[in-house]
Structure 1
Amino acid sequence: MLKRRKIYLAGPDVFLPNAIEIGERKKRLCEQFSCDRLELIGLFPFDNEIRPGADGGPVDRDIYRANLAMIKAADCGIFNLTPFRGPSADVGTVFELGLLTGLGKPAFAYSNECRSLLDRLKSQKMAFFDTSVAEWRDRNNMFIEDYGNSDNLMIDACLAEQGHPLVRRKTSLAERFADLGGYLECLQLARSHFLALHPVKMAASAS
């Protein structure tokens, strides 16, 4: 029996000049990873039709409610956690990751930045080593985690605890938000996850 599984596609991709094109490409790739037993359907935030002022309420609330409904309708999510507008992942994407995992759904994520958060901060001269306590600190003298994670431990750990750690890749700055290699790895993980839930039943051999 064909199983249909919806994948929420989250990330700062929605802010790109070609956001709709990227979204359509990601959805087509979901179709390509489908098989005779499994249909993968991508849900991209721009699939929601938001008409400014349609209900007289703030547009941002309409967008929030539409995305929330999409996350609730999804069977899993793929999250682009590439650093955005700073050293960390897009905060909206991180919120959606927390929401989806809080609902008990599987999450898969990738980052087109292979360095740890600490290494990124060090490269931007935003971290110094406090020898008095043997800890890394930021400009506000606040402790910086040194676990080798791509971002805050709550992000990396929630993925690792599900059995599929964050996919980290090295890409050029120019290709940071265009390279879909990490996304493809996550699609394969999602495909394998759902196929494993519904293994092929071998027909009993004739006596």
Structure 2
Amino acid sequence: MNIYLAGPDVFRPDAADWAAEARRLVASFGHSALLPTDNEAPDAPGIFAGNMALLRRADAVLANLEPFRGGEPDSGTCVEVGCAIALGKPVVGYLRDTRPLVERLGATRRPGSGDAFVDERGWTVENFGLPLNLMLAVPCTVVEGGLAEALARLQRDAG
């Protein structure tokens, strides 16, 4: 399979080393990795178009859904996941902490509201027992761990 690796890992200080290791890991499962860094476009529109082309080539997507610059996954990764779902590609997301979102965000019960939870700004946090917003957690398979665990789950599901 050609597997697109979505996630904020391209922003890591060691992104080139991470990419090389990720390629090795994907290859050890008998697959080929497609990474956003395979796209050498010099500008934002070109990067978007190139990444969309890689997504269309992919048979599946593995997405790093770790919180990035806040309590939620990287917004670009979320767009890639949504596009992959729309294209009918299987998506396996991974994060280290799969506790329900209300726990991970430290949400508290809104006084007098029964089961409603809010974050530190008073915004409602959905309470479906899912580790991420339902728009990610429902259509994606979410595993606890990292890329290796996501690959193992994809392999098992592809059976």
Give the Cα separation in 2 of the matches to 1:110 and 1:139: 25
Deviation at 1:143, TM superposition (A): 2.0
Which amino acid counterpart does residue 25 of structure 2 have in structure 1?
A: L
The superposition leaves residues 103-138 of structure 1 with CA deviations (integer Å, 9 ceiling, x where unpaired) of: 11111110022333211221xxxx332231111123
Aligned equivalent of 2:154:
190
Deviation at 1:63, TM superposition (A): 0.7
Which amino acid counterpart does residue 90 of structure 1 have in structure 2?
A: D
Which amino acid counterpart does residue 98 of structure 2 have in structure 1?
A: C
Aligned equivalent of 1:110:
94
Give the Cα separation in 2 of the matches to 1:90 and 1:100: 15
Aligned equivalent of 2:61:
77
Counterpart mapping for 1:62-141 below 5 A? 62-122=46-106, 127-134=107-114, 135-141=116-122
Match of 2:105, SS? helix
2:27 to 14, 25, 31: 31
Give the Cα separation in 2 of the matches to 1:68 and 1:157: 22
Aligned equivalent of 1:178:
none
1:153 to 134, 138, 149: 134
1:60 to 31, 40, 44: 44
- In structure 2, list runs of 5 or more residues that go unmatched: none
Q: Is 1:46 aligned with 2:10? A: no
Give the Cα separation in 2 of the matches to 1:32 and 1:68: 25
Aligned equivalent of 1:205:
none
Could you tell me the TM-score, scaled by structure 2's length?
A: 0.91
1:18 to 3, 14, 17: 14
Give the Cα separation in 1 of the matches to 2:33 and 2:95: 19
Could you tell me the TM-score, scaled by structure 1's length?
A: 0.71
Is the alpha carbon distance of 1:25 and 1:129 closer, same or farther for their aligned partners in structure 2, counting shifts above 3 Å?
same
- Cα-Cα RMSD: 1.5
Sequence identity percentage: 35
Give the Cα separation in 1 of the matches to 2:157 and 2:120: 42
The superposition leaves residues 163-185 of structure 1 with CA deviations (integer Å, 9 ceiling, x where unpaired) of: xx31124xxxxxxxxxxxx2112
Match of 2:32, SS? strand
- In structure 1, list runs of 5 or more residues that go unmatched: 35-39, 53-58, 160-164, 170-181, 197-207
